[in-house]
Every structure is written in C-alpha cells, then in structure tokens.
Structure 1
Amino acid sequence: MGSPLKRVSGVRWGHLRDATGAAAHGIPPLLSRIAHGDERTARLAVDDLGDAICALGFVVGEATAPTVPFLLELAGSPHTACKAEVFGLLGDICRTDQWHSAAATTRGRGHDAGFQRQRGWEAASRSAVHTGRSVIEGVASSVRPEEATPARTLLRLMDEVPPFPDH
C-alpha cells in the first residue's frame, strides 16, 4: 500500500466546503491523525472528521465524496488503529439522504431544484462508498472480529442502500 494518504495533497481542499459550510482545509490533518495517531488520537480525529463531512451523522457536504477514498484507504490499512469507527463513519455517509428527502417533499412546488447541488453531494458520497466495496470485502474477511464485524455491517448496509439513481 505504500505511504498512507500520499494523494491527499492532490485535492484542492481550500476550494471545497465541508458539511458545516466551512472551508475543508482542516480535513487533511484529521486524516493524518487517523493514519498516524495512537488509538485515542485516531478515534477523536474520526469523530471530528465525522462532524466535518457528515454533520449530525446525516448531512454531507461538498468535501465528503473526495474524502471517502482516503477513509477507504485507512480502512484497508493494517496500521489504522480505529477501523470500527472509520467503518461507522462510512456507514453514516452511505445512508445519508437528507437532501434527497427534502427535495422529494418539495417536488411539484418548485423548490426541489434548490436542492440539486446538495443531492449531487449525497449521490457522489454514497457512490464513493460503494466504489470501495472490494476494500470493505477484504477487511470483512479478516480473522480479526474487531475489523471484520464492522466491515460486514457496512456491506449489509450497502446492500440495503444502493447508490442513488441518476437524475
């Protein structure tokens, strides 16, 4: 796998917004703390990253989809200290449908077009999680239950929550 997160610098984080509307430049340091921190540091970083890319556990932002490949990389790394938390965050991202639901409730009233950008963020984020299925399946076959169980849980969720249809 090489050096973890070596492609993080290729993302223009300062041009993206996180789920809170803030500039996403704080995401790379959080990913680094997950990759290189001790277990406590990594868990706190996953929690902070969750606030940034999946606010309240169900609202994604523009920076969420670009962050998912790095979460998948961390989930597949033998050195990640908090894989269960990473899989939990990926599950939260996968199940988000806040903007799709809001658009559906306003359909026909002319307001659903206002949610187009946010619906795109949700669709891209969910699709990014699904793209990492092979990584998740690899961890699900681990002999370590603390890794395999959360990976299997995420796989079941992915089966229940397919990618959004193209609009």
Structure 2
Amino acid sequence: MGIVLKGVARIRWAELRDAQGASAVRIPPLLSRIAYGDADTARLAVDELGGSLCALGFVVGEATAPAVPFLLELAGTPHLPCKAELLGLLESICRARQWHAAAGDGGLGANYRRQPGWERAARAAVYTGRPIVESLASSVRPEEAGPARSLLRAMDEAALIPETES
C-alpha cells in the first residue's frame, strides 16, 4: 500500500465484520483510494468507508477499531483533500453508543455482549489520535481546523460518559 498505510496488511480483515455485518475485506482498498486517489475518489471512498465503519453515523462494527489508526494516519497526512470528511467520520465513531444502549436495554444484553466492546475499543482508538487531531485543530486551514475542534469536543464529551460493562 505504499509508505502511507504500510501496516494495513497486518490486519486480518477477512476475519472481521464491518458495521453492516459484512466482511471487512473492502476496507483496505477504500483506505488506499483515500490515500492515493484524486479528491473526488478520496471523498467517495470516505463516504463508502463511513458505511462500513460507522453505519448510519452511529453503529460501529468489529472492524472499526482496527481501522481507526489508519484513518488517523490519513488525517495527519499532508495535502490529503478529504481531511474534513475523515475527521467527521472519526467524530461519528467517537460518539457511537448504539450497541451500548441496546445491550443495556435488558432483554438484548445476552445477544449483544461483544458490540459494546467494539464501541469502547473504537473510541479508545480515536483517543490515541488526540495529538494528530490537536495539530489539525491549530491549522490555518479552516476546513481542517473546524472539524478537528469538533472532534476534540466530541472526545472530551465522550470521556465524561461513564463506560459500563454490559
């Protein structure tokens, strides 16, 4: 995959499920299109990736947490045309609590034990990218700085909500 995304091949994507329950094998090609495609190609790939990593903007899957470091790497890459979209996707991932809410709903707990863990892992992965996001928040480019500041707020707000074991 080149210098950017060099660790993507270490993940066993075929063994993971995305946010829609499908195989996560399509995630690496989408990441590659973001890294190496033109602006339109990259933006379309972020949109497709959003459906795989954070369906409907609030449902994460098993493959979300392993993908987040690559999203952060891409967001920190100079001259990437779709940083705002990547930061928006990371914010959606950070705010996702759908499985947590369903598992805490009483009757669904036994069926959804792993899913709240996916949310916690994905959120933790987003938190590790705070230095990247902070540097983008201080950018002179408003199209990067605004979404980065919004993601920082989401990170701070999510950190205030207690994580419970479901």
Q: Is the 8 A contact 1:123 1:164 kept in 2?
A: no
**Residue 10 (structure 1) aligns with:** 10
SS in 2 for 1:105: coil
Aligned counterpart for 1:160 among listed residues 154, 157, 162: 157
Q: 1:145 aligned to 2:142?
A: yes
Q: CA deviation at 1:66?
A: 0.3
Q: Provide Cα deviations, 1:136-158, integer angstroms capped at 9, x if missing partner.
A: 00111111111111101110111
Q: What amino acid is the match of 2:109?
A: D
Q: How many residues are matched?
A: 163
Identity score, percent? 64
Q: In the alignment, is residue 46 of structure 1 matched against residue 46 of structure 2?
A: yes
The answer on 1:83 being equivalent to 2:122 is no
Unpaired stretches in structure 1, ≥5 consecutive residues: none
- Return the letter of the residue paired with 1:95: R
Cα distance in 2, alignment partners of residues 83 and 99 from structure 1: 27
Give the drift of 1:79.
2.8
What amino acid sits opposite 1:129 in the alignment?
Answer: V
Q: 1:161 to 1:90 in 2, by over 3 A?
A: same
Q: TM-score, normalised by structure 2?
A: 0.93
Q: Which amino acid aligns with 1:165?
A: E
Secondary structure class of the residue paired with 1:17:
coil
| 1:126 and 1:164 in contact (8 A); partners too | no
**Contact 1:35/1:79 (<8 A) preserved:** no
Q: Which amino acid aligns with 2:118?
A: W
Output the CA distance in 2 between the equivalents of 1:73 and 1:166.
Answer: 29
Please report the TM-score for the alignment, with normalisation by the length of structure 1.
0.93
Q: C-alpha offsets along residues 62-95 of structure 1, whole Å, 9 cap, x if unaligned?
A: 0000000000000111031100000000011011
Q: Which residue of 2 aligns with 1:20?
A: 20
2:66 maps to 1:66? yes
Runs of 5+ consecutive residues of structure 2 not aligned to the other structure: none
What is the letter of the counterpart of residue 160 of structure 1? E
The amino acid that maps onto 1:29 is P
Structure 1 residue 104 displacement after superposition: 1.8
Tell me the residue number matched to 2:95: 95
Partner amino acid, structure 2, of 1:140:
A
Report the alpha carbon displacement of residue 166 of structure 1 after superposing the two structures with TM: 5.6
Helix, strand or coil at the partner of 2:105: helix
* Runs of 4+ residues deviating >3 angstroms: none
Question: Who is 2:128 aligned against?
Answer: 131
